[in-house]
Amino acid sequence: MDYLKELAGRADLGATWEAWSPEYRVLAIAVALALAYWILRVAVPAVLRVLRPVLIAAFILAAIWALFPEATCSIEVLSKLPVICSR
Sequence-separated (6 or more) residues with CB below 8 Å from residue 28: 20
Instruction: Indicate whether 58 belongs to any domain.
Output: yes
* Residue 75 lies inside a defined structural domain of this protein: yes
Name the domain count of the chain. Answer: 1
Q: Taking the chain, what is the end-to-end CA distance rounded to the nearest angstrom?
A: 60
Tens-digit pLDDT profile for residues 23-75: 888 888 999 999 999 999 988 888 888 899 998 988 988 888 778 777 777 77
DSSP 19: G
Classified as helix, coil or strand, 42 is: helix
What pTM was computed for the model? Answer: 0.46
Q: Which helix (H) or strand (E) holds 65?
A: helix 22-67
- Report yes or no on 84 lying in a domain: no
Assess whether pLDDT exceeds 60 at residue 82: yes
Please give the residue range of the domain that contains residue 49: 2-79
